[in-house]
Amino acid sequence: MNTGQTILTIVAIVLLGTNVVSVNRTFQQHGTVLQQTEIGLFGVSLATSLLEEARGKAFDHYSLVGFPTTLTQLTPQDSLGPEPGELRANWDDFDDYNNLRDTTKVPDVDTFYRWATVCYVDTTDPNTMRNYRTWIKKLTVYVKGQNSSDTLQMSYLFSNWSFR
Protein backbone atom coordinates (compact mmCIF):
# COMPACT_ATOMS: atom_id res chain seq x y z
CA MET A 1 0.00 0.00 0.00
CA ASN A 2 1.53 3.31 -1.02
CA THR A 3 1.25 6.70 0.72
CA GLY A 4 -1.69 7.87 -1.46
CA GLN A 5 -3.74 4.79 -0.63
CA THR A 6 -2.93 5.12 3.08
CA ILE A 7 -4.06 8.76 3.17
CA LEU A 8 -7.23 7.85 1.25
CA THR A 9 -7.96 5.04 3.76
CA ILE A 10 -7.41 7.35 6.74
CA VAL A 11 -9.74 10.00 5.25
CA ALA A 12 -12.40 7.33 4.59
CA ILE A 13 -12.17 6.07 8.19
CA VAL A 14 -12.44 9.62 9.58
CA LEU A 15 -15.48 10.34 7.39
CA LEU A 16 -17.11 7.05 8.41
CA GLY A 17 -16.44 7.75 12.10
CA THR A 18 -17.90 11.26 11.83
CA ASN A 19 -20.97 9.90 10.07
CA VAL A 20 -21.50 7.21 12.73
CA VAL A 21 -21.25 9.77 15.55
CA SER A 22 -23.70 12.09 13.74
CA VAL A 23 -26.24 9.30 13.19
CA ASN A 24 -25.91 8.20 16.83
CA ARG A 25 -26.50 11.77 18.06
CA THR A 26 -29.59 12.07 15.81
CA PHE A 27 -31.05 8.82 17.18
CA GLN A 28 -30.43 9.97 20.74
CA GLN A 29 -32.13 13.33 20.13
CA HIS A 30 -35.03 11.59 18.42
CA GLY A 31 -35.46 9.27 21.43
CA THR A 32 -35.50 12.26 23.81
CA VAL A 33 -38.16 14.00 21.70
CA LEU A 34 -40.28 10.85 21.66
CA GLN A 35 -39.99 10.47 25.44
CA GLN A 36 -40.97 14.12 26.05
CA THR A 37 -43.94 13.72 23.68
CA GLU A 38 -45.11 10.61 25.49
CA ILE A 39 -44.78 12.37 28.86
CA GLY A 40 -46.76 15.33 27.48
CA LEU A 41 -49.56 13.11 26.18
CA PHE A 42 -49.94 11.35 29.52
CA GLY A 43 -49.89 14.72 31.29
CA VAL A 44 -52.71 16.04 29.10
CA SER A 45 -54.67 12.86 29.73
CA LEU A 46 -54.28 13.17 33.52
CA ALA A 47 -55.31 16.84 33.50
CA THR A 48 -58.30 16.23 31.22
CA SER A 49 -59.54 13.29 33.30
CA LEU A 50 -59.56 15.46 36.45
CA LEU A 51 -61.36 18.31 34.66
CA GLU A 52 -63.98 15.88 33.31
CA GLU A 53 -64.47 14.35 36.75
CA ALA A 54 -65.01 17.79 38.32
CA ARG A 55 -67.42 18.87 35.57
CA GLY A 56 -69.77 16.09 36.61
CA LYS A 57 -70.17 17.50 40.13
CA ALA A 58 -72.58 20.11 41.46
CA PHE A 59 -71.54 23.77 41.20
CA ASP A 60 -71.55 24.22 44.97
CA HIS A 61 -72.28 22.20 48.09
CA TYR A 62 -75.35 24.32 48.70
CA SER A 63 -76.69 23.70 45.19
CA LEU A 64 -77.03 20.00 46.03
CA VAL A 65 -80.19 20.73 48.04
CA GLY A 66 -81.58 23.62 46.01
CA PHE A 67 -80.76 26.37 43.56
CA PRO A 68 -78.86 29.26 45.17
CA THR A 69 -80.41 32.61 44.24
CA THR A 70 -77.96 34.91 46.05
CA LEU A 71 -74.18 34.88 46.23
CA THR A 72 -74.28 34.62 50.01
CA GLN A 73 -75.69 31.11 49.62
CA LEU A 74 -72.45 29.93 47.99
CA THR A 75 -69.37 28.59 49.75
CA PRO A 76 -67.07 31.42 50.90
CA GLN A 77 -63.74 31.72 49.06
CA ASP A 78 -61.70 30.71 52.11
CA SER A 79 -63.80 27.55 52.55
CA LEU A 80 -63.40 26.16 49.01
CA GLY A 81 -62.31 22.53 49.13
CA PRO A 82 -63.73 19.33 50.57
CA GLU A 83 -65.89 19.62 53.65
CA PRO A 84 -64.17 18.48 56.88
CA GLY A 85 -63.90 14.69 56.92
CA GLU A 86 -65.09 14.33 53.30
CA LEU A 87 -63.11 11.64 51.44
CA ARG A 88 -62.26 12.01 47.75
CA ALA A 89 -64.56 9.13 46.83
CA ASN A 90 -67.44 11.18 48.24
CA TRP A 91 -66.63 14.56 46.68
CA ASP A 92 -69.90 15.98 45.42
CA ASP A 93 -69.22 19.52 44.27
CA PHE A 94 -66.82 21.40 42.00
CA ASP A 95 -64.87 23.26 44.64
CA ASP A 96 -63.94 20.02 46.48
CA TYR A 97 -61.00 19.86 44.05
CA ASN A 98 -59.37 22.94 45.60
CA ASN A 99 -55.88 22.09 46.90
CA LEU A 100 -55.97 18.55 45.49
CA ARG A 101 -52.53 16.95 45.29
CA ASP A 102 -51.82 13.47 44.01
CA THR A 103 -49.13 11.39 42.33
CA THR A 104 -49.61 8.91 39.51
CA LYS A 105 -46.94 6.48 38.33
CA VAL A 106 -47.27 5.34 34.72
CA PRO A 107 -45.02 2.27 34.26
CA ASP A 108 -42.23 2.70 31.70
CA VAL A 109 -43.15 6.38 31.21
CA ASP A 110 -42.84 8.67 34.25
CA THR A 111 -44.18 9.65 37.65
CA PHE A 112 -46.65 12.52 37.42
CA TYR A 113 -47.44 15.08 40.10
CA ARG A 114 -50.87 16.68 39.80
CA TRP A 115 -52.33 19.55 41.81
CA ALA A 116 -55.39 21.75 41.43
CA THR A 117 -56.85 25.03 42.60
CA VAL A 118 -60.41 26.34 42.55
CA CYS A 119 -61.30 30.00 42.87
CA TYR A 120 -64.05 32.43 42.08
CA VAL A 121 -63.35 34.58 39.03
CA ASP A 122 -64.56 37.90 37.69
CA THR A 123 -67.71 37.50 35.58
CA THR A 124 -66.38 39.82 32.87
CA ASP A 125 -62.75 38.63 32.94
CA PRO A 126 -62.38 34.94 33.84
CA ASN A 127 -58.60 35.32 34.12
CA THR A 128 -59.03 37.57 37.14
CA MET A 129 -59.34 35.73 40.44
CA ARG A 130 -61.69 37.21 43.05
CA ASN A 131 -61.53 36.79 46.82
CA TYR A 132 -65.31 37.05 47.03
CA ARG A 133 -68.13 34.87 45.72
CA THR A 134 -69.23 35.12 42.07
CA TRP A 135 -71.37 32.92 39.84
CA ILE A 136 -68.27 31.50 38.13
CA LYS A 137 -65.64 29.15 39.57
CA LYS A 138 -62.40 28.26 37.83
CA LEU A 139 -60.61 24.95 38.28
CA THR A 140 -56.95 24.99 37.24
CA VAL A 141 -55.10 21.68 37.04
CA TYR A 142 -51.31 21.44 36.91
CA VAL A 143 -49.40 18.30 35.88
CA LYS A 144 -45.63 17.87 36.05
CA GLY A 145 -43.72 14.80 34.99
CA GLN A 146 -40.74 13.88 37.15
CA ASN A 147 -38.54 13.74 34.02
CA SER A 148 -40.07 16.78 32.34
CA SER A 149 -38.93 20.36 32.54
CA ASP A 150 -42.41 21.69 31.71
CA THR A 151 -45.55 21.99 33.83
CA LEU A 152 -48.85 21.51 32.03
CA GLN A 153 -51.71 23.81 33.03
CA MET A 154 -55.36 23.39 32.00
CA SER A 155 -58.39 25.30 33.28
CA TYR A 156 -62.15 24.96 33.22
CA LEU A 157 -64.81 27.55 34.07
CA PHE A 158 -68.03 26.42 35.75
CA SER A 159 -70.92 28.81 36.10
CA ASN A 160 -74.13 28.44 38.10
CA TRP A 161 -77.21 28.94 35.97
CA SER A 162 -80.55 27.32 35.23
CA PHE A 163 -83.41 27.52 32.76
CA ARG A 164 -86.50 29.13 34.24
**Cα–Cα distance measured from residue 19 to residue 21, given in angstroms and rounded to the nearest whole number:** 5
What are 34-57's pLDDT values in tens digits?
778 888 899 999 999 999 999 999
Domain total for the chain?
Answer: 1
Q: Which distant-in-sequence residues (6+ apart) come within 8 Å of 9 by Cβ? A: 1
Name which of 8-12, 69-73, 76-80 the model is least confident about: 8-12
Domain around 68: 3-159
Does any domain span residue 152? Answer: yes
121 assigned to some structural domain: yes
User: Residue 62 falls within a domain, yes or no?
Assistant: yes
User: Does residue 93 lie in a domain region?
Assistant: yes
pLDDT tens for 7-31 read 777 777 777 777 766 766 766 665 6
Asked whether residue 10 is domain-assigned, the answer is: yes
Inter-CA distances, 160 with 49, 79, 135, Å: 22, 18, 6
Inside any domain, residue 164: no
Report the DSSP pairing between strands 101-106 and 129-130.
unpaired
